[in-house]
Structure 1
Amino acid sequence: MIKNRLDIVFVISVVIMAVISCVIITRTFEKRTVQERNEEVLAEILEAPNSCDNLGRRPPYSKIRYNNRVYIKKTSNRFCHLVSNRDNVKMLINEEGNELLFPNEYDPAQFLYGGALLLIAVIIFVRKFWL
């Protein structure tokens, strides 16, 4: 089945693709669970972008404190208006109380992205070694 070192590298690459897709699917499922639970909390904003006008290609991060824990959240254009020039923000929290999400941070399309990546990995592996 595996004939040379290049095939070993190929198999490792496909396995990495499959692992990444499983992580994407798992994280999306966790976000969906938090969104469906819909437990809102008021968190204190420690640091946030001053303006949402020019965020650039790399979105800035915000530091948000809730229950004496500091969470660092990526603040893209989609969520910047929630934290910019504010003292507090409404967030969603998971059941364990160790993860905060912005409202509507869950995107069901992430299931599609993770599933597509996994499907591509399986197709590549099958075409390489069984066809």
Structure 2
Amino acid sequence: MEEVQEQQNKSRVVKVDSVESWDFYVGQASNQGCPIVSHFTASWCMPSVAMNPFFEELALAYPDVLFITVDVDEVKEVATRLEVKAMPTFVIMRGGAVVDKVVGANTEEIKKRINGFVQSIRVNVA
């Protein structure tokens, strides 16, 4: 029972709480050729908060992708930089550049886009 509890506490999603940590993670992932999926959220936005467990599931399903969550109120500069205007917004990045963006709590669309993106990377690498 304790093991299950411990596993639930180990999130695969990295919470970014400053511009510096955003730049650090994006820089590190870019250097390693690791794609990034960012969930731009806000604590007051219920659809955004409702997406957290789904985002956690995605992180477990795609271990080769870095999943980041960003609270737009805590890190406004990053949200502005990536032109995030609504929550939730999911941004897919590679090499530090935005390659796709999904606005809204549309789980099927998000899954489809991430899956397509991951497949295209695997094809290009193979």
The TM-score range, normalised by the shorter chain, is: under 0.3
User: Which has the higher relative contact order, 1 or 2, with Cα contacts under 8 A spaced 6 or more apart?
Assistant: 1
Q: Give the greater-gyration-radius structure (CA).
A: 1
TM-score for both structures, normalised by structure 2: 0.25
